[in-house]
Amino acid sequence: DTGVSQDPRHKITKRGQNVTFRCDPISEHNRLYWYRQTLGQGPEFLTYFQNEAQLEKSRLLSDRFSAERPKGSFSTLEIQRTEQGDSAMYLCASSSGASSSWEQYFGPGTRLTVT
Amino acid sequence: GQQVMQIPQYQHVQEGEDFTTYCNSSTTLSNIQWYKQRPGGHPVFLIQLVKSGEVKKQKRLTFQFGEAKKNSSLHITATQTTDVGTYFCAPRSSNTGKLIFGQGTTLQVKP
């Protein structure tokens, strides 16, 4: 399967714990995005990487959130001191800068439940 | 920043009926993308529109971009049960490519 993969698919954690999610984009896609989606809403942009550089962060991304993309391949999103309001689906997407349509390919998401 | 509103939020149709969802912006958009998300699934790219007045067709789906580039629509002819899902419009940032999603229109199709 050459699509975007995310791990884990589901995560249940207690409030105050730290969690880390991983995203493996389509190989050779230099652009990688993280979004968060809650029930009944569209995905909300969190952050964007071009290769290994994090070029944009949403104001939604508090200082408890950090994302990395070492070597411009896979990316990780860490949430520290989780809160119940962090419960959501975390989606990763990648795109090729060479594509004229800039279409984004989404992974299956990681569903986070904070109890 | 850019925001888009989609109407209706929900639509129930009988199989075979047509369906339309509308996407409206208060600002001029440089482009708009459409995605479909099946229940329990992730968004899947359908199309991108960039030109004023552009119309694109994909089988039973017709996408339009308004003349003023402030609105867009998706029309499905003769809906099928496989059309069930949530349809999102999303302007794309010209420099970073990030998408700003509307809240979506959820389509239910009764067989």
Question: Which residues, listed in sequence order, are joined to residue B110 by a DSSP beta bridge?
Answer: B14
Q: Considering CB atoms only, which of B88, B97, B102 is closest to A95? A: B97
Q: Are B6 and B89 contacting, i.e. CB atoms less than 8 angstroms apart?
A: yes
pLDDT at position B78 is 98
Higher pLDDT: A1 or B11? It is B11
Q: For A68-97, how does the pLDDT look when each residue is reduced to its tens digit (9 = 90+)?
A: 999 889 999 999 999 999 999 999 999 987
Whether residue B46 lies within 8 A of chain A, CB to CB, comes out as no
Nearest CA in chain B to A103: B45
SS (H, E, C) A11-31: EEECCCCCEEEEEECCCCCCE
Distance CA A47, CA A23 (A): 13
Q: For B37-73, how does the pLDDT look when each residue is reduced to its tens digit (9 = 90+)?
A: 999 999 999 999 999 999 999 999 999 999 999 999 9
Distance CA B74, CA B65 (A): 9
| B35's tokens | 């995605």
Nearest CA in chain A to B42: A108
pLDDT band at B1 (very low <50, low <70, confident <90, very high): low
**pLDDT at A99 exceeding the cut of 70:** no
Residues of chain A in contact with residue B44, where contact means CB-CB under 8 angstroms, are: 106
What does the mean pLDDT of chain B come to? 95
Residues of chain A in contact with residue B97, where contact means CB-CB under 8 angstroms, are: 31, 33, 48, 95, 102, 104
CA distance A29 to chain B (A): 13
CA distance B18 to chain A (A): 23
**A–B: how many Cβ contacts below 8 A?**
56
pLDDT at position B94 is 83
